[in-house]
Structure 1
Amino acid sequence: MLFDTIAAISTPKGEGGIGIIRISGDKSFEILDKIFKPKNPNRDLGFYQFNYGFIHDGEKVIDESMVVRMKAPKTYTCEDVVEINCHGGQFVTQKVLELVLKNGARHAEQGEFTKRAFMNGRIDLSQAEAVMDLIQGKTEKSISLSLDQLRGDLRDKINSFKKALLDITAHVNVVLDYPEEGIDDPLPVELRDNLEAVYEEATRLIESYDKGKKIKEGIKTVIVGKPNVGKSTLLNSLLREERAIVTHVAGTTRDVIEEVINIKGIPLVLVDTAGIRQTDDIVENIGVEKSKEFIEKADLVLLVLDASRELEDEDREVINQINENHKKVIVLLNKIDLERKIDLDEYNFENIVEISAQKNVGIEDMEEKIYSFIVDEKVEDSSEKLIITNVRHKTALEKTKDAIRNIFETIDMGLPMDLISVDLKEALDSLSEITGEISSEDILDHVFGNFCVGK
């Protein structure tokens, strides 16, 4: 099955200018010869160049197209690859794919093209994951991190760790295998320094995960407040579109609405929630409970208060909910275009912005205040050489770090050197999990199962 010729549509479903069918495997050129007639029958199709002609099923023309042949190993999968560029209608691309399958290809599974690139040694597992991150990237910063990883920066760092550990392994093996040499020092100063350097760098990478996760997935920001204070109007102002229904009736928002905006290169996952209040309406009450759950999960809370009304028990309930969860909060005093009646003296809020969501006043000031939060979190500072964004990598590095800590304890306590050898193997195996040199089918299925079929 690994060496079957596979094919899939690599462009999104639906109508478009171009639809691309990708074929990979030993029979790629053979299949193309069966279904493609170049406009000039005497033309050599060559490699890595577009050829104009027609896709046909026997005597029936299916579509006019441009095709490219790519010769192994200089392809994405390191196999012979053909890409057929046809018209982008869903019916046309499906007919061409069916024709390819009828002539000897098998439909590709999710992520199988990238999986073959990994299996054939063109990329490691961390680079394969970067492909998916690149496809799903929401901002320039997240794409930049994905490109660093795709380029092999993480792989190179892991390989440098492994080299240092292998040098130590070699020394330990000499001590264990040749006791007659009389080597007493379990770990010379130079090797211990190298081990400490790996430990410290692994620690830094682990600590970079929270930042990387926020750059990749976004800062979860929940908009909360009692009903009818302008939360949905605020969401619409930030999105610059009418995304949420806005009425004067309290309790209009029953469910959560989630959208992503870009604040200076950092994705902000905005969640507009139902107004928090006591209610007998079953559906609205479910929305209120969801709002409370989102406060618990949020990185940042935007608390919307109506500046034209005095504080009420419903406002205080929302504030107490935020304080109980110890959340960072920006208070937005909305409706400042009306007469001000609110008094916040009973609370010691640090970040307050006055806005009118309906009149679009103060929105830029609010965005600046949100960006200040991002600065405080040091999310925008992605200048470090390497940042990890994948929890699988973080977990493997934590296992590596634990193994190194055990080595130090073994040396300091004067325990047998055999224990050092065991922990060194554990550290090396954990690092190899990141690059895929050691990987179970479950891990591979999980990684490539998140891909679309044509990738």
Structure 2
Amino acid sequence: MSDTIAAISTAVGEAGIGIVRMSGSDSINIGKDVFVGFDDKKIIEIQNKKLTYGHIIDEDGKKIDEVLIAFMEGPYTYTREDMVEIYCHGGIISVRKVLELLLRSGARLAERGEFTKIAFLNGRLDLSQAEAVIDIIRAKTDTSFQVSLDHLEGSLSKEVGDIRDILLSMVAEVEVSIDFPEEGVDELTYEGLQADAKTVESKIEALLATTNRGKILRDGIETVILGKPNVGKSSLLNAILRENRAIVTDIPGTTRDIIEEYVNIDGIPLKIIDTAGIRDTEDLVEKIGVDRAKASIEKADLIIGVFDVSREFTEEDKKILELLKNRKSIVLLNKIDLKTGQKDEFLKELEEIDHIIETSIIENIGIESLEEHIKSLFYEGDINMESDIVVTNVRHKLQLEKALKNIKSAIGDIQMNVPLDCIEIDLRNAWEDLGEISGDAIAEDILDKIFKDFCIGK
């Protein structure tokens, strides 16, 4: 008999409704014990997958909350086990009291992601579909949501499964040739193997080609705004967000810490980071902010360097320019609306920079051009949501890279007419590498790590 697990499935805080769910062999019995109908009578026969109105009562018969309850008999449930979901008032106290009662009645508190893990273990979802659940929850744009939904519905699983089927056929062909050598292995066999291996190689490479876009859709473009104090960094953040998120003043050093916000640019989530102005300072707090700004550069996908062209190009500007070199960056020449500009001087210093935009952030000049530059840098071509499969998960990318390495090794061996038993090893390794994406072959410790990224109650 499996454990019966319970957890709160809605976010902590005040809401119209809070959901507490159970899954396991004893969940329906526990649900019947703690619930009475609107007429204060216990339920004898449940109505499968129908909402019933009533109250949750404790061991002494005291009413805890007015609820709707749904009893769901397996295997046609999320986990393929019996499940109960209780829809109570969404306050912190009400959902906690309901959960505590379920735990006292025989359920145990679910671990992170345990409902989805059970769904995977019971064959309700494969591993890539299970991982898509958390991606749906964390999606920051309509596009990333749609990609995750496609994965949940099995688009990636099917493509990977098709590739594994080709590899399995190749392994079977090789094993037959090894087990029945009297049949002979002629040149056509090697040619056939090479053709199939090339097909596998091209399919894996096509999936890997989407991983850069996939990372952007899932995690966003980590974008650092860099520049001296008072060049317009915080004004730029506010302009992109279309709200006054950062404090803007004429006093240098106003921004002393990292400010992070997400913004959606035509389906691309941009994680934009406003940093302290880069300058030498004796102010301890500001110095910490400057150090953090420099540290954020190391993990940034994109740096937006902001320069004030109403002033002369200085040594501090030069130091900031050095930080931009050999990195994916866009330079904004800001405050072009001011008559006393030094634009030509800056352009001379910025000859090695490819992407330069003239802006007046306060006048909203150049912001649209900046957004178009960001899209062109990171999002070449539109994703056709009806046909394209986009790999968004880093673990999937690593497994595809391992499989590609093995299939390339197999192709090299085939071209050199290496004995078939050596070729079989590479083919089988590639097949197993891809199997870790769907969960057909995966270690328990990796499985635990994946589901620990989930929230409790999912």
* TM-score, normalisation: structure 2: 0.93
Q: Does 1:397 align with 2:400?
A: yes
3-state SS of the aligned residue for 1:161? helix
1:371 alignment counterpart:
372
Q: Work out the CA distance in 2 between the residues paired with 1:332 and 1:76.
A: 54
Aligned length: 450
1:124 alignment counterpart:
126
CA deviation map 1:306-365 (0-9, x unaligned): 232222221222112212x333313141372564344324133554444443x4522xx4
Q: Does 1:23 align with 2:25?
A: no
3-state SS of the aligned residue for 2:255? coil
**Does the 8 Å contact 2:36/2:42 carry over to 1?**
no
Q: Work out the CA distance in 2 between the residues paired with 1:45 and 1:338.
A: 78
1:202-351 matched pairs, under 5 angstroms: 202-323=204-325, 325-334=326-335, 336=337, 339-343=340-344, 344-346=346-348, 347-348=350-351, 350-351=354-355
1:5 alignment counterpart:
4
Quick one: which amino acid aligns to residue 253 of structure 1? T
3-state SS of the aligned residue for 2:237? helix
**Does the 8 Å contact 1:133/1:143 carry over to 2?**
yes
Q: Which stretch of the first structure deviates more once superposed, 286-295 or 261-270?
A: 286-295
**Does the 8 Å contact 1:28/1:81 carry over to 2?**
yes
Quick one: which amino acid aligns to residue 333 of structure 1? N
Q: Work out the CA distance in 1 between the residues paired with 2:126 and 2:180.
A: 36
Q: Which stretch of the first structure deviates more once superposed, 227-236 or 210-219?
A: 227-236
Q: Work out the CA distance in 1 between the residues paired with 2:246 and 2:293.
A: 16
1:422 alignment counterpart:
425
**Does the 8 Å contact 2:357/2:369 carry over to 1?**
no
**Does the 8 Å contact 1:232/1:245 carry over to 2?**
yes
2:198 alignment counterpart:
196
**Does the 8 Å contact 2:279/2:290 carry over to 1?**
yes
2:383 alignment counterpart:
382
CA deviation map 1:13-37 (0-9, x unaligned): 1111111000101111100111100
1:137 alignment counterpart:
139
> Which among 429, 441, 451 is matched to residue 448 of structure 1?
451
1:100, distance to aligned residue in structure 2 (A): 0.8
CA deviation map 1:80-121 (0-9, x unaligned): 111000011111110010111111111100000000000000
Unaligned 5+ runs, structure 1: none
Q: Work out the CA distance in 2 between the residues paired with 1:372 and 1:351.
A: 8
Unaligned 5+ runs, structure 2: none
1:240, distance to aligned residue in structure 2 (A): 2.8
3-state SS of the aligned residue for 2:332? strand
Quick one: which amino acid aligns to residue 331 of structure 1? L
* TM-score, normalisation: structure 1: 0.93
Q: What CA RMSD, in Å, does the superposition of the two structures yield over aligned residues?
A: 2.0
Quick one: which amino acid aligns to residue 10 of structure 1? S
1:433, distance to aligned residue in structure 2 (A): 0.7
Q: Work out the CA distance in 2 between the residues paired with 1:150 and 1:140.
A: 15
1:49 alignment counterpart:
50
CA deviation map 1:32-85 (0-9, x unaligned): 111100114497541111110011113201011000111101110000111000
Q: Work out the CA distance in 1 between the residues paired with 2:429 and 2:250.
A: 62
1:33 alignment counterpart:
32
Quick one: which amino acid aligns to residue 379 of structure 2? K
CA deviation map 1:287-323 (0-9, x unaligned): 2233233334333222222232222221222112212
Q: Percent identity?
A: 45
Q: Work out the CA distance in 2 between the residues paired with 1:153 and 1:411.
A: 31
**Does the 8 Å contact 2:132/2:151 carry over to 1?**
yes
> Which among 77, 81, 101 is matched to residue 83 of structure 2?
81
3-state SS of the aligned residue for 1:187? helix
**Does the 8 Å contact 1:304/1:334 carry over to 2?**
no
1:180-195 matched pairs, under 5 angstroms: 180-185=182-187, 187-195=189-197
**Does the 8 Å contact 2:307/2:331 carry over to 1?**
no
CA deviation map 1:389-443 (0-9, x unaligned): 1111111111111111111222222222110121122111111111111111221
